[in-house]
Amino acid sequence: MRNPLGGRRLRPWRVALAIGGSIALVLAGSPLSAQAGTTAAQTIVCPSVADKLPEVPARARAEVDRNLALLQTQIQEANNRLARSAGEGGPNFIQNAILGPLADKRVATLDRIAIAIGRVAQRPTGLNALATCTLTNNGDNSGDNNGDNNGDGDGQGDGDNPAEGFGPFPEDFIDIRQVQPGQSNIGTFGRFGNNGSRGTFVSQCGRNENRHNNTANFIVAPGVEDGAHHLHDYVGNLSTDGFSTDESLAAAGTTCQRGDLSTYFWPVLRDRTSNENANDPEGNVGQVLTARSVRLQFGGNATSKVVAMPRFLRLIMGDAKAATNGGANARAAWTCTGFQNRITPNKYPLCPRGSLVVRILDFPSCWDGQNADSANHRTHVVFPGQNGACPQGTQAIPQLRMTLTYAVPQGQSFAVDAFPEQKHNPVTDHADFANVMPDNLMRFVVDCINRGRRC
């Protein structure tokens, strides 16, 4: 297989996420394989937790879900540490440096789960017995995997050896003039019926001119510095990093007008003709391109009025691992200025000279009315149906659409940052949002949308 990075030495390992189970490291002849005394897959396996809990009261569900997701992140982080530690230490290194600290973290997280339930019901006992994890060689998939791993997570998903080439490949591009007009429905944004809410609100937050970038994702991988493994652009809240909390976000400054403290972020787009970041082990090579324009528009619902988003609501759209997960959660939409009636969900568009590349990122907008987040970061807010109506049991909230434009070099020479096994496939485009608007601003947004105004 060709190496698009010009023969740069690549790490001889492969990370695989076993479906429905825990995370396995497949080490191709690495020192860690020899150190562990086996050439089989090395897997950190932890006892499952969600199925050991009593019925979780509704008032404790959000806190329990957050901590179940954190347990998954901790396993993923430990496996990343396992990958990076090849050849380090003596025979007790893995126990002392990885499994032991992991158990300590799990004890603290399990305690928080027990406390959350105990506030409103009988506190569960014996959860700390689930803290200890083991290293196995047999690829056992019985470990703790409480999230769906379809978001912008910390773990390395099922993919090919990075030595086979990071991509993108020629088949990942298409001349926008070859895309048929009107063939791709990217959602119901902007569609209205007689009872719909027709107004819009645009939050003016800039284009990340202040270079707020990091490889974290506090929504999917809270408390992990490198939880995304690819670089994000941030606009809005100035403090956003892997350790952000409701309290830290509420206390920070913002690049947005009207006091919008929300955080908006997405993976960067790179000019891959540049050798910048050439030694990146994830293959995210090239010069980061600052968007020519960033439009953050909130719209209404096709069939109903909208209600206010709860403060600190967390949303994700798209699937950072869609190339290996399949397209169930993929929401990528690529086009070019002047050709917005031609949308491609799985190809980078090659635009005529003078035309800009466009990314359209639509978020879900049918809220369950209770939760600011969920274990997989998806079930608390879902997309409207094909007719634009929200499913029964949900209510419409303002729908966010991010529209980003870029001047890119001519040819097959740009790509979105991605996990290495995703090979920079354009279908993996995604974005994240946390609502930190003051309540009075959110009321203004809802009023604009429901009254049919443009604000």
| DSSP codes joined into one string, 385-423 | -TTSPPPTT-EE-PEEEEEEEE---SSS-EEE---GGGT
Place of tokens 């993976």: 267
Structure-model confidence comparison of residues 76 and 210, the more confident one:
210
Buried b (16+ CB within 10 A) or exposed e, 416-437: bbbbbbbbbbbbbbbbbbbbbb
d(CA 244, CA 248) in angstroms, rounded, equals: 6
Other CB atoms within 10 Å distance of the CB of residue 260 = 25
| Residue 443 per-residue DSSP state | H
d(CA 316, CA 433) in angstroms, rounded, equals: 6
d(CA 381, CA 396) in angstroms, rounded, equals: 9
Residue 157, pLDDT score = 35
Q: Per-residue pLDDT for 350 more than 80? A: yes
Residue 183, pLDDT score = 60
Q: Per-residue pLDDT for 27 more than 70? A: no
Residue 78 and residue 42 in contact, taking contact as beta carbons nearer than 8 Å: no
Q: Where residue 91 falls among pLDDT bands split at 50, 70, 90? A: low
Span 104-115, pLDDT tens digits: 889 888 988 988
Residue 86, pLDDT score = 66
CB-based contacts of 358, cutoff 8 Å, min separation 6:
334, 335, 336, 337, 340, 349, 403, 404, 405, 406
Average pLDDT over residues 329-349: 95
Residue 134, pLDDT score = 86
Provide long-range contacts, Cβ within 8 A and 24+ apart, for 350-354. Answer: 350/173, 350/174, 350/175, 350/176, 350/411, 350/412, 351/176, 351/408, 352/176, 352/177, 353/410
Structure tokens at 356: 């800009």
Q: Where residue 90 falls among pLDDT bands split at 50, 70, 90? A: low
Residue type, 378: R
Domain ranges of the chain: 13-136, 166-450
Residue 286 and residue 273 in contact, taking contact as beta carbons nearer than 8 Å: yes
Q: Per-residue pLDDT for 425 more than 50? A: yes
Span 286-301, pLDDT tens digits: 999 999 999 999 999 9
d(CA 339, CA 356) in angstroms, rounded, equals: 10
Residue 152, pLDDT score = 41
* 425 three-state secondary structure: coil
**What's the mean pLDDT when you consider all of the chain?**
83
Instruction: Provide the terminal-to-terminal Cα distance of the chain, rounded to the nearest Å.
Output: 52
For the chain, the residue count is 455
Residue 166, pLDDT score = 83
pTM of the model: 0.66
Q: Per-residue pLDDT for 6 more than 60? A: no
Structure-model confidence comparison of residues 247 and 32, the more confident one:
247
Q: Per-residue pLDDT for 226 more than 80? A: yes
Structure-model confidence comparison of residues 14 and 244, the more confident one:
244
Backbone angles phi, psi at 248, to 5 degrees: -70, -35
Q: Per-residue pLDDT for 230 more than 50? A: yes
Other CB atoms within 10 Å distance of the CB of residue 55 = 7
Structure tokens at 292: 């020519």
